[in-house]
Amino acid sequence: MFDIEKKMNAWGPFSPRDAGTLIFSIGNLHEGHGPALSPDNDSRCANFVAYRVSERTGARFMAHVPFTTDRVGDIARDWSPGYLPMDECVRKSVDFINFHVNALKDRGVTLSKILIIVGHGGNKGIENYDDWDALREQHGMESILFASTFTVDLGQVLRCLEPYSEETRMEYLAVKPGHADTMEHSIATLYGGVDMGKYAMMNRFMRNHGVDAALKKWPVIGGLGGYLKFGGDRYEPLRKVGLGSCLKKLEEDGQLFIFKDFAKEVMEISIGNICRMIHPLEDDHL
């Protein structure tokens, strides 16, 4: 009799160990980004990265974790109505992932590690909870890893910009990852996530009425700039997480830009770096 199960383990470009790494994504399914980006943009970005890492490494993309939190606390509900306190978000996320792990184990799949692609800056900190160690020990896995969708260092960015003109390099290097800013709009073009008509409308409004008027109309743009600039003491925790540079850049530029070529270069670096978390290259250890 033909033993299909044993034969299949040797089929295809990936090994059973590759398939023993599970990828989950987590972002934010309901967060304000202004008219041109969808409320689930952070989740779409996390899925975009997760799919490509899965394609290149053979790891299994399992599911998108539907919960979100924010390191700034309860004020996040003002722009992110689905916000959960971080401990609750972690607890629910672990339960969600545990369900999927058990489903695979029930089918006899051998699991080695979990990689969680994090697509929402407010989720920073979830990796520090002991719940993840308990999950890893429960299933006898090697590790549970976390990676931001934007896993890039400055040296890599500088190298990728070498072919560009000095003027273009300086223009691109002035762009930093943030919220509903030039970088986020640029990255979203890679997965069809920008309404270009609404993007043009926003810039037209800023040209005609000024950046302050735009921030009052859409306080989420420019790194949640409307809250930072006009929100008073309530938003002091938000001022401590580094989004002020996004606001300053929008005020300097007077509009949002889309640099698709730069976004493509940077995200290719990030995806490559995350793949190496699953399959380190030999020279990584030299």
For residue 141, the domain's CATH number is 3.40.50.10310
- Do the domain assignments include residue 2? no
> Domain check: are 24 and 83 in the same one?
yes
> Domain check: are 24 and 147 in the same one?
yes
Domain that holds residue 29: 16-152+267-285
- Do the domain assignments include residue 4? no
Please name which of 266, 281, 274, 264 lies closest in space to residue 61, comparing C-alpha atoms: 274
> Domain check: are 54 and 25 in the same one?
yes
> Domain check: are 76 and 169 in the same one?
no
> Domain check: are 21 and 31 in the same one?
yes
DSSP string, 3-72: -HHHHHTT-SSS-HHHHTEEEEEE--SS----TTB-TTHHHHHHHHHHHHHHHHH-PEEEEEE-----TT
> Domain check: are 279 and 221 in the same one?
no
The predicted structure's pLDDT at residue 280: 81
Q: In 3-state terms, what secondary structure has residue 121? A: helix
**Cβ atoms within 10 A of the Cβ of 212, count?**
14
C-alpha pair distances (Å), 101 with each of 60, 139, 240: 11, 8, 37
Count structural domains, the chain.
2
Alpha-carbon distance of 14 to 27, in angstroms, equals 28
- Do the domain assignments include residue 191? yes
- Do the domain assignments include residue 5? no
The predicted structure's pLDDT at residue 286: 40
- Do the domain assignments include residue 3? no
> Domain check: are 62 and 187 in the same one?
no
> Domain check: are 82 and 122 in the same one?
yes
- Do the domain assignments include residue 52? yes
> Domain check: are 131 and 188 in the same one?
no
Residue-level pLDDT, tens digit, the chain, 286 residues: 567 777 777 778 887 778 889 999 999 999 999 999 999 999 999 999 999 999 999 999 999 999 999 999 999 999 999 999 999 999 999 999 999 999 999 988 889 999 999 999 999 999 999 999 999 999 999 999 999 999 999 999 999 999 999 999 999 989 888 999 999 999 999 999 999 999 999 999 999 999 999 999 999 999 999 999 999 999 999 999 989 999 999 999 999 999 999 999 999 999 999 999 998 864 454 4
- Do the domain assignments include residue 8? no
> Domain check: are 194 and 180 in the same one?
yes
> Domain check: are 27 and 144 in the same one?
yes
> Domain check: are 170 and 245 in the same one?
yes
**Cβ atoms within 10 A of the Cβ of 128, count?**
10
- Do the domain assignments include residue 117? yes
- Long-range CB contacts (within 8 A, 24+) of 233-236: 234/75, 235/75
